[in-house]
């Protein structure tokens, strides 16, 4: 099976002498579904940041979709990001844009056909149950609603790699289930996206096979 | 509503800059017109033993615009009325010739001095009257105007720099986040800054248009025309073509400059 992520002796740090992730090795198969857990402050978001190239490896090698991120060029990184869907822990929605425009941002960057845009938008708004909020700006939405906008945005351009940082952190059971269904849908069937999710609670009823990694004291190990 | 608010602050800043700039231009024009007025009303009187050749005199100094003989009749009329015609003709011939010199612009005291010297080098010229006392006070007044307008120019420049750097901070605050988020989704730099440049261009156009409306209105106001006619000067408050073009280029340059700086100094946050 193809490897979508290969980490070799990977160290991540914000300042020189304090590594958050220390010389870890792991491999993620293409098309797999991965949960990452760990205590608050253990480095889960830090690891995701490195996967989308916002944090350069301090040392070691990190290859994502065949691209070495240690010393990656700007244009390569842009290309890579255009094929990723990211749900940020703090959502990172654009305040001055309506939720529709926010959702379609990756779609617009990918330069997809304008005609498909409306169909895709309607589908996504349906999926995350936000049809009634059309025309509103992020601040006019509840935390959970903003989180669902972030989820819809991460899926708008049918990415091959989805990184989600606590995508259900602010949601009730019902909405959480919606999100899990969406992520499972992206992973299964014809889409076959690789999904990496940081969470504190792994849902009990998962319909797809998944792997579970735990981060502790700067190292990563698989939970079986 | 939202997008209006996005535009407003730059438009207001640009409009204030255009307003002070155009006001500066009007004051500058008023002073130039006043100066021309002074030049028109000022003349030297030259007294000569012989009839002077006009083109020789005019070529003595570029400052001299024209030279006209003052008819002696006016002087003679003032003399005794019952002088005989023949005596008067004789007197007329023996009288020196009087000339009035018109200058191209209002001269400085130094220019007057060198002009006087140049004229007196001509052996037939016996006296040059420059009315120096009134000239000096008027000239000092003119110098005062000139320093006032320089101060004005400096303050326009300061206002421009302050407003634009304040706008720079606001824009950085407002646009950096969006540009970072777009970068995280792999948007190339031209796409990230497209919004910024579109905003800059639209704002520059709107500010130019508002400046155009504002000054067209001011220029058509009877009150303004009245004020200038009191001083006896004629000033173009708003040149529809030239001044509009100036407003357009100033606001476009400033806002494009602003957008470019924002794009260049943009740092992605992690
Ligand atoms: N931008 C930053 N600059 C410096 N240090 C940071 C930065 N972001 C995170 N850290 C530090 O890195 C460590 C790991 O943070 P991280 O956000 O990865 O934790 P996390 O596992 O995602 O926690 P949580 O479950 O609370 O989201 C923390 O100790 C934090 O203080
Ligand atoms: Mg986190």
State pLDDT tens for residues A1-58.
689 999 999 999 999 888 999 999 999 999 999 999 999 999 999 999 999 999 999 9
* A162-171 pLDDT tens trace: 999 999 988 8
User: The tokens of B217 are what?
Assistant: 């209105």
Whether B252 is covered by a domain: the verdict is yes
Helix (H, G, I), strand (E, B) or coil at B229: helix
Q: What is the DSSP letter of A5?
A: E
Name every chain A residue with its beta carbon within 8 A of the beta carbon of B6.
96
Do B29 and B117 have their domain in common? Answer: no
> What is the rounded CA–CA span in Å between residue B18 and residue B255?
12
Strand partners, A64: A5, A67
Give the pLDDT score at A7.
96
List all residues 6 or more positions away from A78 whose beta carbon is below 8 Å from its beta carbon: B183, B186, B187, B188
Task: Name the burial class of residue A131, with classes exposed (0-12), middle (13-18) and buried (19+) by CB atoms within 10 angstroms of its CB.
Answer: exposed
Mean pLDDT, residues B189-197: 89
Whether A103 is covered by a domain: the verdict is yes
Do B175 and B79 have their domain in common? Answer: no
Whether A22 is covered by a domain: the verdict is no
| A46 CA to centre of ligand 1 in angstroms | 6
Alpha helix (H) ranges present in A58-188? 74-82, 99-103, 105-109, 114-127, 143-155, 173-187
User: The tokens of A116 are what?
Assistant: 């498909």
**Cβ contact (<8 Å) for A55 and B270?**
yes
Helix (H, G, I), strand (E, B) or coil at A122: helix
Do B158 and B24 have their domain in common? Answer: yes
End-to-end C-alpha distance for chain B, whole angstroms = 31
**Nearest Cβ partner of A105 from B3, B185, B268?**
B185
Residue B81 in contact with partner chain A when CB distance is under 8 A:
no
| Confidence bin at B182 (pLDDT 50/70/90) | very high
Tell me, using a 6 A CB cutoff, whether residue A217 lines ligand 1.
no
Name every chain A residue with its beta carbon within 8 A of the beta carbon of B182.
94, 105, 109
Give the pLDDT score at B83.
67
> What is the rounded CA–CA span in Å between residue B56 and residue B61?
10
Give the pLDDT score at B167.
84
Give the pLDDT score at A151.
95
| Confidence bin at A195 (pLDDT 50/70/90) | very high
C-alpha of A96 from chain center:
23
Whether A59 is covered by a domain: the verdict is no
Q: Does residue B35 contact residue B105 with C-beta atoms inside 8 Å?
A: yes
Shortest Cα distance from B251 to chain A (angstroms)? 24
Whether B256 is covered by a domain: the verdict is yes
**Cβ contact (<8 Å) for B2 and A137?**
yes
Mean pLDDT, residues B92-103: 84
User: The tokens of B196 are what?
Assistant: 């910024």
Whether A78 is covered by a domain: the verdict is yes
Strand partners, A3: A29
The yes-or-no verdict on residue B5 having pLDDT over 60 is yes
Helix (H, G, I), strand (E, B) or coil at A35: strand
Portion 162-181 of B in contact with A at CB < 8 A? 174, 177-178, 181
Helix (H, G, I), strand (E, B) or coil at A41: coil
Tell me, using a 6 A CB cutoff, whether residue A175 lines ligand 1.
no
Do B244 and B151 have their domain in common? Answer: yes
**Cβ contact (<8 Å) for A80 and B186?**
yes
User: Among the listed ranges A28-32, B97-101, B204-208, which one has the minimum average pLDDT value?
Assistant: B97-101
Strand partners, A21: A12
Tell me, using a 6 A CB cutoff, whether residue A79 lines ligand 1.
no
**Residue A81: which domain range?**
31-54+73-223
Residue B261 in contact with partner chain A when CB distance is under 8 A:
no
Query: Closest Cα to atom 26, ligand 1: which residue?
Result: A40
Mean pLDDT, residues A120-130: 93
| Confidence bin at B269 (pLDDT 50/70/90) | low
**Cβ contact (<8 Å) for A96 and B2?**
yes
Tell me, using a 6 A CB cutoff, whether residue A46 lines ligand 1.
yes
Whether A64 is covered by a domain: the verdict is no
> What is the rounded CA–CA span in Å between residue B15 and residue B1?
20
What does pLDDT average to over chain B? 86
Do B265 and B167 have their domain in common? Answer: yes
Ligand nearest A19 Cα, by number? 1
Give the pLDDT score at B179.
92
**Residue B87: which domain range?**
43-130
Do B265 and B155 have their domain in common? Answer: yes
The structural domain count of chain A equals 1
Do B51 and B118 have their domain in common? Answer: yes
Tell me, using a 6 A CB cutoff, whether residue A138 lines ligand 1.
no
> Which secondary-structure segment (H or E) carries A89?
none
Tell me, using a 6 A CB cutoff, whether residue A72 lines ligand 1.
no
Helix (H, G, I), strand (E, B) or coil at B123: coil
Q: What is the DSSP letter of A87?
A: E
**Cβ contact (<8 Å) for B187 and A109?**
yes
**Cβ contact (<8 Å) for B178 and A94?**
yes
Which of B130, B159, B182 is a domain's end point? B130
Per residue in A36-53, is it b (16+ CB within 10 Å) or e — as a string? bbbeeebbbbbbbbbbbb
Which of B104, B130, B156 is a domain's end point? B130
| Confidence bin at A94 (pLDDT 50/70/90) | very high
Do B250 and B166 have their domain in common? Answer: yes
**Cβ contact (<8 Å) for A77 and B186?**
yes
Mean pLDDT, residues B150-158: 87
CA-based nearest residue in chain B for residue A90: B181
CA-CA distances (angstroms) from residue B181 to A89, A99, A168, A196, B172?
13, 14, 21, 20, 14
List all residues 6 or more positions away from B5 whose beta carbon is below 8 Å from its beta carbon: none
Do B22 and B83 have their domain in common? Answer: no
Give the pLDDT score at B78.
65
Tell me, using a 6 A CB cutoff, whether residue A199 lines ligand 1.
no
The yes-or-no verdict on residue B2 having pLDDT over 60 is no
User: The tokens of A17 are what?
Assistant: 């002498």
Higher pLDDT, A220 or B164: A220
**Cβ contact (<8 Å) for A96 and B6?**
yes
The yes-or-no verdict on residue A132 having pLDDT over 90 is yes
Report the 10 Å Cβ neighbour count for B241: 7
The structural domain count of chain B equals 2
In 3D, which of A218, A167, A220 has the Cα closest to residue A21?
A218
List all residues 6 or more positions away from A212 whose beta carbon is below 8 Å from its beta carbon: A34, A35, A36, A37, A202, A222, A223, A224
Q: Give percent above pLDDT 90 in chain B.
A: 23
Give the ipTM.
0.92
Q: Which residue has the tokens 């400052």?
A: B63
CATH number for the domain that contains residue B84: 3.30.70
Query: Closest Cα to atom 8, ligand 1: which residue?
Result: A46
CATH number for the domain that contains residue A135: 3.40.50.300
C-alpha of A39 from chain center:
19
Do B152 and B249 have their domain in common? Answer: yes
Whether B200 is covered by a domain: the verdict is yes
Whether B263 is covered by a domain: the verdict is yes
Tell me, using a 6 A CB cutoff, whether residue A45 lines ligand 1.
yes
* B29-43 pLDDT tens trace: 988 888 888 888 888
The yes-or-no verdict on residue B169 having pLDDT over 60 is yes
Do B99 and B166 have their domain in common? Answer: no
* B64-93 pLDDT tens trace: 888 888 887 776 676 666 667 777 777 777
Give the pLDDT score at A59.
93
Whether B139 is covered by a domain: the verdict is no
Whether B142 is covered by a domain: the verdict is no
Give the pLDDT score at A191.
85
Do B10 and B66 have their domain in common? Answer: no
Per residue in A116-125, is it b (16+ CB within 10 Å) or e — as a string? eeeebbeebb
The yes-or-no verdict on residue B106 having pLDDT over 60 is yes
Query: Closest Cα to atom 27, ligand 1: which residue?
Result: A40
């Amino acid at each position: 099976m193809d490897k979508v992520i290969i980490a070799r002796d990977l160290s991540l740090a914000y300042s020189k002498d304090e590594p958050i992730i220390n010389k870890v090795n792991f491999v993620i198969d293409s098309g797999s579904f991965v949960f990452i857990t760990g205590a608050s402050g253990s480095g889960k978001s830090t690891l995701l940041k490195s996967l989308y190239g916002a944090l350069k490896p301090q040392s070691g090698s990190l290859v994502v979709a065949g691209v070495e991120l240690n010393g990656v060029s700007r244009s390569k990184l842009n290309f890579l990001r255009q094929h990723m869907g990211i749900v940020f822990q703090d959502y990172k929605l654009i305040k001055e844009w309506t939720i529709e425009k926010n959702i379609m941002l990756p779609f617009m960057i990918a330069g997809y056909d304008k005609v498909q845009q409306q169909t895709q938008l309607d589908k996504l708004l349906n999926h995350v149950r936000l049809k009634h909020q059309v025309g509103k700006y992020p601040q006019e939405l509840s935390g959970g609603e903003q989180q669902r906008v972030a989820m819809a945005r991460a899926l708008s351009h049918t990415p091959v790699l989805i990184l989600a940082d606590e995508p259900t952190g602010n949601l009730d059971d019902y909405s959480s289930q919606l999100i899990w269904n969406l992520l499972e849908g992206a992973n299964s069937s014809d889409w076959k996206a690789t999904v990496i999710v940081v969470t504190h609670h792994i849902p009990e009823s998962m319909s797809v096979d998944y792997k579970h990694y735990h981060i502790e004291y700067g190292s990563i190990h698989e939970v079986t | 509503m939202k997008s209006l608010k996005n535009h407003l602050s730059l438009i207001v800043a640009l409009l204030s800059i255009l307003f002070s700039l155009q006001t500066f231009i009007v004051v500058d024009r008023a002073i130039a017109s006043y100066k021309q007025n002074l030049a028109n009303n000022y003349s030297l009187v030259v007294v000569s033993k012989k009839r002077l050749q006009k083109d020789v005199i005019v070529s003595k100094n570029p400052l001299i615009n024209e030279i006209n003989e003052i008819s002696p009749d006016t002087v003679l009329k003032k003399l005794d009325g019952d002088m005989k015609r023949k005596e008067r003709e004789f007197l007329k011939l023996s009288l020196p010739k009087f000339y009035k010199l018109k200058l191209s612009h209002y001269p400085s005291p130094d220019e007057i001095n060198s002009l006087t010297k140049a004229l007196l080098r001509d052996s037939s010229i016996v006296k040059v009257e420059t009315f120096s006392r009134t000239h000096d006070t008027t000239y000092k007044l003119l110098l005062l105007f000139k320093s006032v307008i320089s101060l004005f120019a400096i303050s326009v420049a300061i206002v421009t720099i302050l407003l634009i750097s304040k706008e720079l901070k606001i824009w950085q605050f407002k646009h950096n986040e969006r540009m970072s988020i777009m970068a995280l989704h792999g948007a190339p730099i031209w796409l990230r800054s497209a919004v910024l440049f579109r905003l800059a261009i639209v704002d520059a156009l709107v500010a130019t248009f508002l400046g155009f409306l504002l000054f067209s209105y001011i220029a058509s106001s009877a009150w303004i025309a009245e004020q200038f006619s009191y001083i006896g000067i004629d000033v173009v408050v708003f040149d529809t073509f030239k001044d509009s073009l100036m407003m357009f280029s100033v606001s476009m340059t400033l806002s494009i400059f602003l957008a470019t700086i924002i794009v260049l100094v943009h740092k992605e946050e992690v």
